[in-house]
Structure formats: structure tokens, C-alpha cells
Amino acid sequence: MDLEKVFHMKGGRGETSYSENSSLQKRAADKVNHITLEAIKEMFLESKPMSLCIADLGCSSGPNSLSNIKELVNAIERESSKLFERAPEFRVYLNDLPTNDFNTIFQALPDLYRELKKGRNHGSPSIYIAGYPGTFYGRLFPDKCLHFIYSSNSLHWLSRVPPGIYNEQGDSTNRKSIYISENSPPQVAQAYFEQFKQDFSLFLQSRSDEVVVGGRMVLILLGRNGPNYVDRGTAFLWEILYRSLAILVSKGEVEEEKLDSYEVHFYAPSKEELEDEIRKEGSFKLDRFEMFEIEKDTGNSSTSYGKAVAMTVRSIQESMISHHFGEAILDNLFEEYGRLVDEEMAKEDIRSISFVLVLQKS
């Protein structure tokens, strides 16, 4: 499967869209927003570029990307005002896979420009925004053109399902699982780890060519706590998805062979794994590394936590599930998913962990 042609968040503004179901990701970004703003301000005060270039890698199609861009622009304008200097112009590159719904982002640009103009006597800042479709596992931009890179909830997605999980006949050896689980043979975890190393190393090498010396990257991604590949916080959501699909198999709505051949292109690295790859690649200095959790909150008292999680996962995985199983199962699948999440969360409070990294180009 060519993931660049299939994988994308659910576009548009409908009930099941990513735009309407990305509040969990927004809360993660907001929790470490002070770190993001500190990083871009430090970079700006050190170099004071007249034209500041920002890239959002994995921007998706919801409101989160433009909200973050507004915060970054406002922060630099405040710093410029303190120095009694004119703010730089801003070049902003929004990147995601070619199948991403860039149109929804572009349609929101007039609102962003209006918000940036509010309260400014001198008019709106000079800001030029463009879309850059393509995978970030490889080069995207010209040499030494970026000052600041931001990537939130994207780098835990791999460039492909690891080929090492398949046997010589092309069948998955990861039976009864769609990700690393207690049931997975050892070679499955190793295959996911090897794919992560290959992808993250290529990501760092590519950004090394594109970022100016002293430039910063802020990376936010799901991770796991410790060396054990089976981390309850991250494996839980995939375990529930497998169980939901298995229920549909038992009802005759999904073929068992289809379930056995479904795997996800996801990996939650440990702190040590990320640090090792950064050190081996050698182009970036790790300025900051923090782990954090997001509290359980649906933001809507009439919606159960399970349903909120199910809607979020659906907006992320719908393209892949529809491609493999067909669209007909989606409603029933995520109804089961929400119910199972609520059942499990009633027994124990399960939380995934996230990492925020600040890297400086050496």
C-alpha cells in the first residue's frame, strides 16, 4: 500500500472530520505551548532574521495548525515590540501528505488574517502562507531556508508498515494483533523499532539540510515510558481497535482474513530511543526533552469519554480502515470502540504519554 496516497485525517468540517475531533491533540499542544514559544523566541533573539521561515510538518486539516501559527507570530511580534524594532516578515509552510485536505486550511486563512490584524495600529503582519504536500521522511524544502520547525502528533506515524512483520509468503506474523502486543512474536517489535530508526534518522538528515544553523525544531509525539515495547498507554487504543474489529468478525460483518492482514504504521518510541537517534545523526543538539500526560476530559458533559476517543480515532484512522475493510463498517465499528473504551476506563485510568523535544541545529 502506498501510504502517501491513502493515509490522511478525515477532511472537511463534518461530524466525523478531524477538524471537529482534534481537541485531544489541541490540548496536548497547549500543555507544552510555553516550551514552543520559548524555543522560537530564543531562536529569534539570537539571529533576528528579517524574513522568518516556519514549517509545520504534519499540519493536517483542522484548526490546530493555524491556531499555532497565530501564537508563533504574536510571540515574535511581542519580542520585536520590546526591542523597539520592526517585526520580521513571516513565511509559513504547511506540510502534510498529498491526500491531506489542504482546502479546509486555506478556506480558514481569511479568518486568521483578520485575527492577526485585531488590535494592531500598524495593520496586520507580513505573512505568506503556502502548502507543501509530501512526506517529511525525505527532503521537502531548499537548503538552509527554515528557521523554525514545528511538528505535533505526527512523528509517531511511520512511513510504512514494517516489512519485517511479514513472512516469506507475505502473511503477517502478528496474528491476533494490529500493533505490538503481548501476543506479538519478538520479531514484530524489532521490526517496528527498525522502521522507526530508519524513518526518524531520515527525518533528522533531511531537516539538517533545510534548517539554518541555530534554527530550532519543536517535536511533539506519543511515546512510551521505559524499554518494554508493550506500553499500556499507547497499545491500549490499538488493542481496543482490534477487539472492535474482532466483534464485527464474530457478527459476520468483517472477514477474518481481512482482520489478520490489517496492521498499523505507528510506533511510540521511548526517550532513550529518540535520544540515541539524535545523537547518532549528529546534526542537532537536544536542548529540552519533557514527558507529559493529558487528563481525561471530553469537553462535553453529554458525550462519554469513550465516544470522544472513538470519534478522534475514527477521524485519524478512517482513511486506512475504509481502504482495507470498506466504509460500510465504520459506524458499527466505532460504536463498539467507544463502548469498549468506557468499559476499560471504568476499571482503570489509562493514559498515554507524550514527549516534547526542542532541538537546535548545530
- pLDDT value, residue 120: 74
Q: What is the mean pLDDT of the chain?
A: 94
Residue 175 identity (one-letter amino acid) = R
- pLDDT value, residue 301: 61
Helix/strand/coil (H/E/C) assignment for every residue in 291-353: EEECCCCCCCCCCCHHHHHHHHHHHHHHHHHHHHHCHHHHHHHHHHHHHHHHHHHHHCCCCCE
For the whole model, what pTM was predicted? Answer: 0.95
User: Grid coordinates representing 89?
Assistant: 516578515
pLDDT tens-digit series, residues 255-311: 999 999 999 999 999 999 999 999 999 999 999 999 999 877 655 567 899 999 999
- pLDDT value, residue 297: 67
Which residue numbers in the chain have pLDDT < 70?
121-123, 297-301
- pLDDT value, residue 170: 92
Residues 51, 91: contact at Cβ < 8 Å?
Answer: yes
